[in-house]
Amino acid sequence: MTLDVVPVELGSRSYEVRIGPGLIDAAGAQILPLLRRRKVAVVTDETVARLHLDRLLAALAAEGIEASALTLPAGESTKGWAEFARTTEWLLEQKIERRDMVVAFGGGVIGDLVGFAAAVLRRGVRFVQIPTTLLSQVDSSVGGKTGINTAQGKNLVGAFHQPTLVLADIDVLGSLPGRDFLAGYGEVVKYGLLGDATFFDWLESNASAMAGDAGLRQYAVRRSVEMKAGIVSRDETEEGERALLNLGHTFCHALEKATGYSDRLLHGEGVAIGCALAFELSQRLGLCAQEAPSRVRAHLRAMGCKVDLKDIPGDLPDAETLLALMGQDKKVIDGQLRFILARGIGEAFVASDVPGDVVKNLLAEALAG
């Protein structure tokens, strides 16, 4: 199996996403050409450290790269002020300078937190993303959005700071719990649904074998990253097209809030449910044929993803409350609800004039179903 290289074209801040097997063991050789001296600081979480940190440190040492490592607790609550402060101060204690490199080794929580720390440390140091979850490989490690959560909400404090390199090791996904793998799959499906019907066809035929087949996994990651890289290079700061990446996310964010960002609903699970609802909404608004939402639902079901509101354990608030939670989404512009809708599979667009009562009826029926 060969390495896939997907460029993210952003002028002087362009970088590569390298996707393939064995990249953790090759990390020293991959990173060395970017270094101005043989020194990096690695930040990871406890789970990833237990499973994979020794190999990464050995790979760096093999190239004579001096590395120190900070291990943070695993989980979303790490992505806040406390661990952010600890991380930046630790990096300063390691005497990381403007010319040095920080390595974010973990899922989206580590990538977002460490990317933000790198963005502000000494007004910006370079960093490498080594994403270890499917979600972080296909989504959060690419595109330069970094940040943390606060008491007011998720991802409300942050910065755009592009990595210098992304190393997506396909093998590392082997240790990912099935539920986390499927959650990441919610974002993979999203790419087909928003802009590539041929990819969605491919997923319908191949995705069920993906967890056990590294070649299929690599293709799915590569195609997802290609789509994200293309969108990001055309619209880095989300003035327009990048908003399409939020397909399913308006529903998802309301559901995440309603479930308290708890174990009841992982982000990618909410994305899958949200994509199903977005297609259903598109059909009700007469934008696409019934076949489209039916296919979306059938595929997500076949994969074992959460699809319906009843797949979320515990009680949910009523439709009115869910609608109000959508209104609080940070993607709201001038009080108007912005949705990503679709004219068919692979044909998403931004709609800013969606009637609230249609959404409310859809949610009420979904809650009753």
Ligand X SMILES: NC(=O)c1ccc[n+]([C@@H]2O[C@H](COP(=O)([O-])OP(=O)(O)OC[C@H]3O[C@@H](n4cnc5c(N)ncnc54)[C@H](O)[C@@H]3O)[C@@H](O)[C@H]2O)c1
In the complex, the smallest distance separating the C-beta of residue 240 from ligand X, rounded to whole angstroms, is 17
Question: Which listed range, 86-94, 173-181, 214-222, 280-288, lies at the site for ligand X (CB under 6 A)?
Answer: 173-181
By CB under 6 A, name the one of 4, 83, 100, 139 that touches ligand X. Answer: 139
Residue 16 vs 76, nearer CB to ligand X: 76
132 is a contact residue toward ligand X (CB under 6 A): yes
Per-position x/- string for 38-77, each x denoting binding to ligand X as judged by CB under 6 A, each - no binding: -------x-xx--x----------------------xxx-
250 is a contact residue toward ligand X (CB under 6 A): no
Among 228, 295, 297, 306, the active-site one is 228
Residue 191 vs 359, nearer CB to ligand X: 191
In the complex, the smallest distance separating the C-beta of residue 36 from ligand X, rounded to whole angstroms, is 26
106 is a contact residue toward ligand X (CB under 6 A): yes
CA angle (150 as vertex; 145, 154 as ends), nearest 5: 50
Question: Which listed range, 84-92, 103-111, 120-128, 287-295, lies at the site for ligand X (CB under 6 A)?
Answer: 103-111
Burial letters 274-292, b for 16+ CB under 10 A, else e: bbbbbbbbbbbbebbeeeb
In the complex, the smallest distance separating the C-beta of residue 359 from ligand X, rounded to whole angstroms, is 23
The verdict on whether residue 198 carries a ligand-binding annotation is: no
Residue 253 designated active-site? yes
Residue 149 vs 283, nearer CB to ligand X: 149
By CB under 6 A, name the one of 67, 165, 172, 193 that touches ligand X. Answer: 172
The verdict on whether residue 321 carries a ligand-binding annotation is: no
Among 39, 126, 187, 338, the active-site one is 187
143 is a contact residue toward ligand X (CB under 6 A): yes
306 is a contact residue toward ligand X (CB under 6 A): no
The verdict on whether residue 112 carries a ligand-binding annotation is: yes
Give the residue numbers marked as catalytic.
123, 145, 187, 228, 238, 242, 246, 249, 253, 267
Q: Which residues bind ligand X (CB under 6 A)?
A: 45, 47-48, 51, 74-76, 79, 106-110, 112, 132-133, 135-136, 139-140, 143, 145, 154-155, 172, 175-176, 180, 267
Going by the annotation, the residues of the binding site for Zn(2+) are 187, 249, 267
